[in-house]
Amino acid sequence: MLSRQVAAKLATYETPFYLYDIDLLNQTLDSLMSVARRYDYKIHYAIKANYDKRLLEIIRKHGLGIDCASGNEVKCAIEAGFDPKTIVYAGVGKRDKEIRYAIEQGIYAINCESIEELGVVNDIAGDMGKVVSVALRVNPDIDPRTNHCIDTGQADSKFGISYEEILSSVEYIRSLKNLDVIGMHIHIGSQIRELHVFENMCNKVNVIVENLTSLGFELEFVDVGGGLGINYDMPENEPIPNFASVFAIIKQHLQVGKREVHFEFGRAIVGECGELITKVLFNKTTATGRRLVIVDASMTELIRPALYGSYHNIENITSKEEQRTKYTIVGTACESTDVFDENVSLPITKRGDLLTLKSAGAYGMSMASRYNQHDLPAAVYSDEL
Ligand SMILES: *Cc1c(COP(=O)(O)O)cnc(C)c1O
């Protein structure tokens, strides 16, 4: 969001690259942690959103823990200096060696997503002579009213254990002597913008926690996941997500007694502080009259438009033209879906101009690939310009 002022400086860097607004990240974390402290909520950062070392250092200094989705993410968090006791690890498909590694490192909890996984974690813990803290990730059957590609808590989803299956497996779970079931976890989806969804979630969690407790599980914490969305359409209007209103809803509706309440935000923390800066390579017009702008980035740097049809606001940050026209912005990769957006109104755009794709701090760099043998994009930080 600072690209216009610094466009001249940006022109000296090799494109494409991610630009991170360090002040905005600090302000976002200040805002998040000040309300979280008021309610005594514990916040984990979902490291899959962006594993950039510099960002992780800032996040760690603000006192967050880490939510991981793989053994390598656990490793990355530990290498970035996070205390293993502040790390949780969820994921539908954990390999044996990832489970073993997480146990060795002594992380806070492994969030298990199937009854079979609970049995395997129990066996591995037994082999290692340990008792392991786990949480049950429950599929709450909630429609988060978001893009279907990123909902995770509906009944048919691959995530979590169905509540019915937990109820019918209580005896089995209790028989797993190397497990200490200390938490209940749900995560209903991502980019949630309708806050009443969180109210529905609380109502479900209240019932689940009450029943698990009456079945003899002594839960220390309730992890209600992440999912808070950001304003992709008009990022300038809302650079920092409204954490206070989400927490107020949770405070009002969640009834879990003295148990710790945990959150795991990814997008809401890093989404707005990053943008992808790319240079215009060529202009051309198709036989059908569509005006294409071909930029030097592609789905290999930012796959969200190609993967989910996601929208990123695009601006030309160097053009001085007054006149505007509509363009289709395409990338360099050999895929027809490698289109960033269509019908984008930009000032007359020429070879060498710099474009920014905004709100790309989350699920941008972390999903980058080396398809077509592209280099992975570099990072530039606002305070180093
Ligand atoms: C991806 C994920 C998150 C973070 O989601 P955001 O929408 O980025 O906040 C949190 N918890 C779990 C289990 C996840 O898989």
Residue to substitute in 67, 201, 221, 246 for testing ligand 1 pocket (most ligand atoms within 8 angstroms of CB) = 67
Query: What pTM was computed for the model?
Result: 0.96
pLDDT along the chain (385 residues), means of 10: 72 96 98 97 98 98 98 98 98 98 98 98 98 95 76 82 93 97 95 92 94 94 97 97 97 96 98 98 97 98 97 96 97 97 98 97 98 98 94
Q: What is the pLDDT at residue 142?
A: 75
Report the nearest atom of ligand 1 relative to the CA of 271: 8
DSSP assignment letter at 10: H
Q: What is the pLDDT at residue 294?
A: 98
Distance 264 CA to ligand 1 centre (A): 6
Q: What is the pLDDT at residue 144?
A: 73
Distance 200 CA to ligand 1 centre (A): 18
Does any ligand 1 atom lie closer than 6 A to the CB of residue 140?
Answer: no
Q: What is the pLDDT at residue 141?
A: 82
Per-residue DSSP letters for 205-254? HHHHHHHHHHTT---SEEE----B---SS-GGG-SS--HHHHHHHHHHH-
Per-residue DSSP letters for 25-85? HHHHHHHHHHHHHHHT-EEEEEGGG---HHHHHHHHHTT-EEEESSHHHHHHHHHTT--GG
| CB neighbour list of residue 243: distance below 8 Å, 6 or more residues apart | 31, 32, 35, 36, 228, 268
Q: What is the pLDDT at residue 2?
A: 53
Does any ligand 1 atom lie closer than 6 A to the CB of residue 377?
Answer: no
Q: 60 to each of 25, 43, 229, how far by Cα in Å?
A: 12, 11, 22
**Which residue type does 370 have?**
R
Q: What is the pLDDT at residue 287?
A: 97
